[in-house]
Structures are given as C-alpha cells and as structure tokens.
Chain A
Amino acid sequence: DGGITQSPKYLFRKEGQNVTLSCEQNLNHDAMYWYRQDPGQGLRLIYYSQIVNDFQKGDIAEGYSVSREKKESFPLTVTSAQKNPTAFYLCASSIEGREETQYFGPGTRLLVL
C-alpha cells in the first residue's frame, strides 16, 4: 500500500523541549517537503529536499531543522527556538521533474503543554 505516512498523529511539546515529527514515503519520490498550517491560513513551506543528503530552507525555517539521510524519510525537528510551534504539520513528496505536483501525508498536530 503506497503512500506517505506521518507519525504521530498528535504530539505534545513541553517548554524548552525539542520534538521530532516523522515522515516516511514508499512512493520512490525524490523530493520531500514540510509545510506548516495554521487555522484559516494556507500552507507555508518550512524546508524541502530534492535529493538525499541535501535540503533547503523554505519561507519559515527558523526554529526548525531537518535531515534527509534516506530517500524515503524526511524527519522534522521542532526546536525550543520555535516560540509558537502549535500548528498542523504536513509532509509532502513529489516525483523528480514533476515537483510541482505534490502529494501530502495525513499530518501531525503539535500542541504545547
């Protein structure tokens, strides 16, 4: 069953804590993305990666970090430097040469305790 999976579905963060959101895809897609979605707003790009071991900052990268050690995995760490982390986080992937057509995972909702 091919697709993009994100875990966990809900995640709680304490003050000063780093948390990591998982994103895995078995679509053999080369490019992967992380977006943040706030209520009533569109999607804002955090980081993206077009190939393994390479990634670029999006529009709102401050307070976040990523790694791309494997083609199928693109974890996002929300660091303590991100002062307003409460949001719905979406991972997406796309085929090389068709990066404009992105397929999304089910999302992770991050809440601050």
Chain B
Amino acid sequence: GENVEQHPSTLSVQEGDSAVIKCTYSDSASNYFPWYKQELGKGPQLIIDIRSNVGEKKDQRIAVTLNKTAKHFSLHITETQPEDSAVYFCAASKTSYDKVIFGPGTSLSVIP
C-alpha cells in the first residue's frame, strides 16, 4: 500500500526566514497531495493541495511543488511568522475512493 514519509520531523526557523518541508510517497498512482496545518489542541486545517497535473501551486506565502517522476512533493513557507508555528502534515491519495495516507508530521517553530 501507499506509504508517505515526511522530513524533517522538527524544524526551527527565525521569523522572516523560509521553511521547507519535504514528503515522499511510494505509490506512483497517487495523484492528489494535500497539506494540513494543525495547531496545538485543534484539528488539522487544509492549507493547500495539488493534483498531479500541475507542478507547482502558490497561495500567498505558501507554495507546494510536485515532482511525479521522483515521487516527492514539498511545502514552502516564505516570510515565516510566529503564527505559522504548528504541526504540518502532508498526505497522498489515488482517487476519491481511496484512503488518504498521511505523513507523520513536521513540528515547525518560528522564533521571533
């Protein structure tokens, strides 16, 4: 079955710097890759997603890139702010009827 790995497990950056979180997946049939942000004690919130027919997607300070050949995708956060501190999860899915497989998460700390 599908397996999603995520690195690093923890990441600390200075406010204003960029943060990059990388994920790899095993099933080449996966074609949907969402990213979730989870603040302490709360449920995950979808922040951005990408489908396999595009290589990059941006939403203000957040961007996601996808390399289908290498089976990896990354989340880029620019000009980080303290409120970006949270756990970020990547995930992969094949079709709307397949399970969504989540990575183990990355704890991001933005130091003021």
Contacts and interface: CB of A to CB of B under 8 A. Distances in A.
Contact of B43 (A100, A101, A107): A107
Nearest to B103: A42
Interface size class of A (residues with CB under 8 A): 20 to 34
Contacts of B46: 101-103
Nearest to B92: A100
Contacts of B89: 42-43
Contacts of B99: 45, 48, 58
Contacts of B105: 40-42
Contacts, number: 52
Interface in B86-112: 89, 93, 95-100, 102-105
B43 A105 contact: yes
B44 A100 contact: no
Interface string A79-112: 0000000000010100001111111111101000
B30 to A, nearest CB: 10
Interface in A48-93: 48, 58, 90, 92
Nearest to B104: A42
Contacts of B36: 104
Given A42-B102, A97-B96, A100-B32, 10 more contacts: A40-B104, A41-B105, A42-B103, A100-B34, A100-B98, A104-B45, A105-B43, A106-B42, A107-B42, A107-B43
